C-alpha cells in the first residue's frame, strides 16, 4: 500500500489497529506507522472528548458524579465518573476502574456497579485520549499511570477517597493499573485482568494474532524499529513501557488473572508479571477463556475472585449494607 493511501486512511480514522499496518515496511512509512501505534482514538475524533454524560444519562446509568481532571504534561483533561455505594453508611474503600485500549469507561460500568454493590466507591476514568478525555498519544502505561496519580490527587482534594485505594483494570487498563501501583504508594491492592508485560513484546504478539503469517513479511527488527519510531512520535521511551519493573516497585498485593486461550495478549505476559512480583502477587490462569471472553466473564469467575481479593486486601467496615 503506498504511503499516500496509508495517510488517507489514517486521516479518515479508519486504522485503529497497529497490526494491520505492520504488513508494510517501516522504511519510508515509519512516521505513519508510529502515528498509528501511539495515536489515541480521540486524535481521530476531536469531538469525542466533548461527550460527557448529560444529567439524565448519569441518572439512568447510576453515575452519581462526573467531572474532568486536568493532568499532564502533556496537558489533557480526563473524564472521571463516580458511583457511590448505596445503603452503606460509609464506603468500605475506593476502587479505580480502568478500561482497555480503544475503549471507554462506560463499558466498565457493570464492573464499577458490582464494586459499589459491595460497598466501595467506584471511580471510572476515561484514559488519556479515550472516551470523553482529551489527549493525542498512547504510551502503554507510564504516562497513563502518572495521569491516574493526578486523578487521585483530585479525588483527595474533593474528599472522594474513602478508606484504602485499589485499582482494577483490564488489558491496557490492567497494565496501567500495575504501573500506577509501581509509582504511587497510595495504592493498597490491584486486580489486573489480561495485562501485557512489555510494549515491545505485545506489539508483535498482537500483530501476529490479527494477521497470521505476518512473520513472513515483517522481521523482529522491523517491529523494533516501529516501536522506536512510535516512541519518538509519542514523546516517550518505549523501554519504560515495562510493567515488570513497575510490579517490582510496589508492595501492594496484585491479583493477576489471564485466560489460557488468550491469543491477543498471550498468558506468558501474566506469568512473567507473577514471577517479577511473586512475593506480593497471585496468578490465576483460566482455562477456555480468551481476551474477549474473560472481559465478558459469563460465569462470573473473574468478578468473584476480584471481589474476594479486595475483601482481603482493601475493605474496611462491615460487608453488609446499613439498615
Residue 2 domain-assigned (yes or no): no
Q: Does residue 228 form part of some domain?
A: no
Question: Does residue 30 lie in a domain region?
Answer: no
| 218 belongs to a structural domain | no
Going by C-beta distance under 8 Å and a sequence separation of 6 or more, which residues neighbour residue 301?
286
Q: Which residue has the cell 446499613?
A: 322
Q: Provide the residue range defining the domain that includes 308.
A: 39-198+241-313
For 51, the grid coordinates are 461527550
What pLDDT was estimated at residue 12? 42
Whether 99 is covered by a domain: the verdict is yes
Q: What is the pLDDT of residue 292?
A: 95
Residue 113 lies in a domain: yes
Q: What is the 3-state secondary structure (H, E, C) of 42-104?
A: HHHCCCHHHCCCCHHHHHHHCCCEEEEEEECCCCEEEEEEEECCCCCCCCCCEEEEECCCCCC
User: Structurally, how many domains does the chain consist of?
Assistant: 1
Residues 6+ apart with CB under 8 A from 184: 145, 148, 149, 152
Q: Of 83, 90, 39, 86, give the one whose Cα is nearest residue 62.
A: 83
Angle between helices 301-313 and 109-117 (to 10 degrees): 50
The pLDDT value recorded for residue 265 is 97
Say how many Å lie between the first and final Cα of the chain, rounded: 65
- Predicted pLDDT of residue 18: 45
Q: Does residue 164 form part of some domain?
A: yes
- Report which secondary-structure segment, H or E, holds 183: helix 172-183
The three grid cell numbers given for residue 214, joined into one nine-digit string: 505476518
What is the chain's mean pLDDT, rounded? Answer: 88
The CATH number that applies at residue 108 is: 3.40.50.1820
pLDDT the model gives residue 35: 73
Q: How far apart are CA 198 and CA 278, in angstroms?
A: 17
Q: How far, rounded to the nearest angstrom, does the alpha carbon of residue 21 sit from its chain's CA centroid?
A: 23
Which parts of the chain sit beneath pLDDT 50?
Answer: 1-30, 323
What pLDDT is attached to residue 214? 60
pLDDT for 8 equals 44
**Phi, psi angles (nearest 5°) of residue 259:** -75, 135
User: How high is the pLDDT of residue 188?
Assistant: 98
- Dist CA 170 CA 188 (whole Å): 18
pLDDT of residue 33: 60
**Which of helix, strand or coil describes residue 12?**
helix
Which uninterrupted H or E stretch holds 210? Answer: helix 199-210
In a domain, 26, yes or no: no
Amino acid at each position: 500500500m503506498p504511503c499516500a493511501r496509508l495517510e488517507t486512511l489514517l486521516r479518515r480514522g479508519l486504522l485503529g489497529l497497529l497490526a494491520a499496518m505492520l504488513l508494510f515496511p517501516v522504511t519510508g512509512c515509519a512516521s505513519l506507522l508510529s502515528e498509528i501505534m501511539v495515536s489515541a482514538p480521540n486524535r481521530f475524533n476531536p469531538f469525542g472528548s466533548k461527550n460527557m454524560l448529560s444529567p439524565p444519562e448519569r441518572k439512568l446509568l447510576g453515575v452519581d458524579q462526573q467531572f474532568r481532571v486536568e493532568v499532564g504534561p502533556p496537558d489533557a483533561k480526563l473524564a472521571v465518573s463516580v458511583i457511590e455505594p448505596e445503603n452503606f453508611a460509609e464506603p468500605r474503600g475506593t476502587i479505580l476502574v480502568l478500561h482497555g485500549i480503544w475503549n471507554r469507561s462506560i463499558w466498565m460500568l457493570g464492573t464499577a456497579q458490582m464494586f459499589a454493590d459491595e460497598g466501595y466507591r467506584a471511580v471510572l476514568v476515561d484514559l488519556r485520549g479515550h472516551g470523553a478525555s482529551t489527549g493525542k498519544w498512547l504510551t502503554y502505561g507510564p504516562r497513563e499511570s502518572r495521569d491516574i496519580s493526578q486523578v487521585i490527587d483530585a479525588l483527595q482534594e474533593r474528599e472522594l477517597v474513602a478508606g484504602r485505594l485499589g485499582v482494577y483494570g483490564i488489558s491496557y487498563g490492567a497494565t496501567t493499573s500495575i504501573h500506577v501501583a509501581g509509582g504511587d504508594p497510595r495504592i493498597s491492592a490491584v486486580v489486573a485482568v489480561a495485562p501485557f508485560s512489555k510494549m515491545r513484546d505485545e506489539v508483535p504478539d498482537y500483530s501476529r494474532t490479527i494477521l497470521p503469517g505476518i512473520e513472513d513479511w515483517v522481521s523482529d527488527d522491523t517491529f523494533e524499529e516501529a516501536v522506536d519510531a512510535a516512541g519518538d512520535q509519542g514523546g516517550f521511551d518505549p523501554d519504560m513501557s515495562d510493567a515488570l519493573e513497575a510490579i517490582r516497585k510496589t508492595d501492594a498485593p496484585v491479583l493477576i488473572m489471564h485466560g489460557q486461550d488468550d491469543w491477543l495478549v498471550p498468558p506468558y505476559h501474566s506469568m512473567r508479571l507473577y514471577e517479577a512480583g511473586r512475593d506480593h502477587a497471585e496468578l490465576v490462569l483460566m482455562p477456555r477463556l480468551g481476551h474477549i471472553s474473560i472481559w465478558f466473564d459469563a460465569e462470573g469467575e473473574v468478578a468473584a475472585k476480584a471481589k474476594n481479593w479486595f475483601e482481603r486486601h482493601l475493605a474496611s467496615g462491615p460487608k453488609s449494607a446499613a439498615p
